[in-house]
Amino acid sequence: MNSLVTYESSDSETDNDRSEEVKFLQRKDDFVHSKFQFQPVFPTSTGLESSQCGLELKVASTGSSNKEYNRHRTPNYAQRHFCVTPRPAEMSLNDETYLQFSKSNNKNALDLMQKSDRIPAKVEPSAQKRSFTDLVPAARNVKPYIPKRLRQKEEVTHESKDNTEVLNSGINQTAPEEQQLSLLSKISDFIKPYLENQHKTSAIPKHSVFHISQHKGPVTTIQWCPVQQHSHLLLSASMDKTIKIWDAIETGRCLKTYLCHSGAVRDVQWSLCGRQILSGGFDSMLHLTDIETAKQIISVHNGCQITCLAFNPENQSVFLSGGFSSTVKAWDTRNSQIVNEYSAGIQQTLDILFLPGGKEFLTSTDAVSRDSADRTIIAWDFQTSAKISNQIFHERYTIPCLAVHPKESFFLAQTNGNYMVLFSTQRPYRMNKRKRYEGHKVEGYAVGCEFSPDGTLIATGSADGTVCFYNYLNSKLVHTLPAHEQACTDVSFHPVHPSIIATCDWSGEIKVWQ
């Protein structure tokens, strides 16, 4: 039985419409850039309107009612025949409509994009205009311009930090970070109360505070920093080719190690400002090193093996060097040149001592005859290099060490005859025959001696490992401290604290006593 209701829009008509649309879309060109009207091309009337998802396609048959139009306006139909995609970011906006045919799609779906006043939601962010709120976080990430001069200063600072070498001490501890970065940036809390006290009476230490054994060779000399605010720093030189700076007051740790010599380091001296150290050794090299950056300000060849060094107390730009040669040389740190030479008929200079004022200095030599020690101590004029006197000491012993009294016009000479003698710092440098400090042993070692800061005590090492304390006024042996098992080569009073000393020995040990 035939249906009594006939539909104006049948399936045959929709199939015909689809075939015509497919024929229209199957073209040789992949892109079509032309203005066209939808009504003449398609047999059905089409229209485009905006939606939240992009563009919405309307399809209606000619002459159909609104009900039939709504029936064919199904989402499945539109998705099955058309694919509406947003405009790619690289395509520019103009008045034309772009149609793109996808080669990978077997159904030749239509990618349609039409410019409108409202930008689709799926458009790339780069195609949209940037708002002010988008520019604010971008401006925060912009780095400011740094001038080239400031950048170079920052690079030098980083290099200096990278070249800083901090080693563990003999007690296997690591130095704190603030000490690694700067040695002179800290003042010891233990030393602060003694900085203001100008009337300190030196006392003999009783017990050991630190026992350090990091050096692998004999320690030749030790010195506290001459700057009182940084007098917690202790400098040591060893025949293991190393120079070390220690925090010998609070922690006993090794703060810096300098490996600038290829031979045994025989002597090392602080500069008057405490920022540089001067070193010399058996490699015949002179090095003036910055303690912070570990860089050599001066590095020159002395011409002979070096045994002693001394800064001029009135001009720290000039220093003296002596060694296995008959000539003592004066160097200028500003141009690394020799400014003067002091020549004597000797084989070796053992020690150098500037007298107060810096205009004269003394050298001790190894020139010894059978009955006298002619030219054992020689006095020099620093400016003219003239020899003032060479008949100061007339006994047949060499003098490995010289020390000047901090308050009175006397200097002390350590002899290989197992005693110490006093001399006047005024011409003709007469020896005090009534005072002789005996009781320790030297026996060929370069044993050091020193006055206490107040000048009341004299401390000296000994070949048997003890430290001997003498009364300066009556030359009596006050106390003997059993410090080391091997020969004690040097001793140093702390410049601020009245009862702290440091000692070292031939085995490489360093001890701090209080």
What is the 3 state secondary structure string of 388-450? EECCCCCCCCCCCEEEECCCCCEEEEECCCCEEEEEECCCCCCEEEEEEEECCCCCCCCCCEE
Confidence of residue 369 (pLDDT cuts 50, 70, 90): low
Tell me how far apart the alpha carbons of residues 145 and 140 are, in angstroms, rounded to a whole number: 14
pLDDT at 68 over 60: no
Task: Please enumerate in sequence order all residues whose Cβ is within 8 A of that of 277, keeping only pairs 6 or more positions apart, or say none.
Answer: 235, 243, 258, 268, 269, 270, 271, 288, 289, 291
Residue 376: which of 386, 359, 389, 385 has the closest Cα? Answer: 389
pLDDT of residue 131: 52
Tell me how far apart the alpha carbons of residues 351 and 335 are, in angstroms, rounded to a whole number: 25
Is the distance from CB of 204 to CB of 494 less than 8 angstroms?
no
Give me the sign of the Cα torsion angle 78, 80, 82, 87: positive
Each domain of the chain, given as residue ranges in start order, spans 11-129
pLDDT at 385 over 60: yes
Edge to edge, what strands does the sheet with 501-505 contain?
A: 208-212, 510-513, 501-505, 488-493
Strand partners, 287: 279, 299
pLDDT at 90 over 70: no
Tell me how far apart the alpha carbons of residues 284 and 300 are, in angstroms, rounded to a whole number: 9
Burial class of 34 by CB neighbour count within 10 A (0 to 12, 13 to 18, 19+): exposed
Instruction: Flag the least confident range among 116-120, 136-140, 262-266, 293-297.
Output: 116-120
Tell me how far apart the alpha carbons of residues 161 and 478 are, in angstroms, rounded to a whole number: 47
List, for residues 311-349, the tens digit of each pLDDT value: 999 988 999 999 999 899 999 999 989 999 998 878 889
Tell me how far apart the alpha carbons of residues 329 and 289 are, in angstroms, rounded to a whole number: 19
**pTM summary value:** 0.65
pLDDT of residue 172: 35
Confidence of residue 182 (pLDDT cuts 50, 70, 90): confident
Tell me how far apart the alpha carbons of residues 307 and 351 are, in angstroms, rounded to a whole number: 7
List, for residues 149-175, the tens digit of each pLDDT value: 777 666 655 544 444 443 333 333 334
pLDDT at 226 over 80: yes
Looking up tokens 């020390």, which residue turns up? 403
Burial class of 136 by CB neighbour count within 10 A (0 to 12, 13 to 18, 19+): exposed
List, for residues 456-473, the tens digit of each pLDDT value: 999 999 999 999 999 999
pLDDT of residue 78: 41
- From the centroid of its chain, how far is CA 240? 24
pLDDT of residue 170: 35
pLDDT at 375 over 70: yes
pLDDT of residue 365: 86
What is the overall mean pLDDT for the chain?
75
pLDDT of residue 144: 73
pLDDT of residue 291: 92
